[in-house]
Amino acid sequence: MTTDAADAFAAAYGDAPDGVWAAPGRINVIGEHTDYNEGFVLPAALPHTTRVAARRRADGRIRLISAQGDGKVTELALDGLAPGAVPGWAAYPAGVFWALAQAGHPVGGADLAFTSDVPTGAGLSSSAALECATAIALDELYGLGLDAPTRALLAQRAENDFVGVPCGALDQMASSCCVAGHAFFLDTRTLTGRQVPLDLPAVGLSLLVIDTRVKHDLGDGAYAALRAGCERAAELLGVRALRDIGVAELAAAEEKLPAELRPLLRHVVTEDQRVLDTVRLLDAGEPRALGPVLTAGHASLRDDYRVSCPETDLAVSAANAAGALGARMMGGGFGGSVLALVDTGRLAAVEQAVRAAFAAAGFGAPLVFPAVPSPGAHRIA
Ligand code: ADP
Ligand code: MG
Same domain, 177 and 226: no
Nearest to 332 by CA among 124, 50, 183: 124
Same domain, 278 and 308: yes
Give the C-alpha separation, 214 to 121, whole Å: 9
The mean pLDDT of 293-304, rounded to a whole number, is 98
Same domain, 209 and 353: yes
The mean pLDDT of 338-359, rounded to a whole number, is 98
Distance 186 CA to ligand 2 centre (A): 18
Res 1 pLDDT > 60: no
Has 7 been annotated as catalytic? no
Same domain, 245 and 209: yes
Q: Look at residue 143 and tell me if it is in a domain.
A: yes
Residue 41, pLDDT score: 98
Q: Alpha helices, DSSP H only, in the chain?
A: 4-13, 91-102, 126-141, 148-157, 170-177, 219-237, 250-255, 262-283, 290-299, 310-321, 347-361
Same domain, 217 and 354: yes
Same domain, 83 and 46: yes
Same domain, 176 and 250: no
Instruction: Give the whole-number percent of the chain exceeding pLDDT 90.
Output: 93
Q: Look at residue 261 and tell me if it is in a domain.
A: yes
Res 219 pLDDT > 80: no
The torsion defined by the Cα of 168, 173, 174 and 178, in degrees rounded to 10, comes to -160
Distance 15 CA to ligand 2 centre (A): 31
pLDDT level of residue 156 (50, 70, 90 thresholds): very high
Mutate to test the pocket of ligand 1, among 51, 68, 124, 126 (most ligand atoms within 8 A of CB): 126
The ligand 1 atom nearest the CA atom of 91: 16
| Residue 130 · residue 72 · CB < 8 Å | no
| Residue 171 · residue 46 · CB < 8 Å | no
Res 234 pLDDT > 80: yes
Between residues 121 and 264, which one has the greater pLDDT? 264
Residue 121, pLDDT score: 87
Model-level pTM?
A: 0.95
Res 222 pLDDT > 70: yes
Compute the residue count for the chain. Answer: 381
Q: Look at residue 138 and tell me if it is in a domain.
A: yes
CATH number at residue 187: 3.30.230.10
Residue 128, pLDDT score: 98
Q: Look at residue 245 and tell me if it is in a domain.
A: yes
Q: Which of 195, 225, 257 is the last residue of a domain?
A: 195
Q: Which of 195, 225, 249 is the last residue of a domain?
A: 195
Q: How would you list the strands of the sheet with 19-28, edge to edge?
A: 74-77, 61-66, 109-116, 43-57, 19-28, 378-379
Q: Look at residue 297 and tell me if it is in a domain.
A: yes
Give the C-alpha separation, 292 to 218, whole Å: 29
Same domain, 212 and 75: no
- Verify whether ligand 1 is closer than 6 Å to residue 69 (CB atom): yes
Domain count, the chain: 2
Work out the mean pLDDT of the chain and round it to a whole number: 96
CATH number at residue 319: 3.30.70.890
Residue nearest to atom 8 of ligand 1 (CA): 121
Q: Look at residue 151 and tell me if it is in a domain.
A: yes
Residue nearest to atom 25 of ligand 1 (CA): 69
pLDDT level of residue 341 (50, 70, 90 thresholds): very high
- Structural domain of 176: 4-195
Residue 221, pLDDT score: 81
Same domain, 116 and 228: no
Same domain, 235 and 343: yes
Same domain, 172 and 318: no
Residue 19, pLDDT score: 98
**Catalytic hit among 171, 217, 303, 304:** 171
Q: What is the pLDDT of residues 167-192, one digit of tens each?
A: 889 999 999 999 999 999 999 999 99
The ligand 1 atom nearest the CA atom of 159: 7
Q: Which of 164, 195, 226 is the last residue of a domain?
A: 195
| Residue 317 · residue 324 · CB < 8 Å | no
pLDDT level of residue 2 (50, 70, 90 thresholds): confident
- Verify whether ligand 1 is closer than 6 Å to residue 3 (CB atom): no
Q: Look at residue 247 and tell me if it is in a domain.
A: yes
Q: What is the pLDDT of residues 80-127, one digit of tens each?
A: 999 999 999 999 999 999 999 999 999 999 999 999 999 998 889 999
Q: Look at residue 378 and tell me if it is in a domain.
A: no
Give the C-alpha separation, 222 to 364, whole Å: 24
pLDDT level of residue 166 (50, 70, 90 thresholds): confident
Q: Kindly state the helix (H) or strand (E) to which residue 341 belongs, with its residue range.
A: strand 335-343
Same domain, 258 and 358: yes
Ligand nearest to the CA of 22: 1
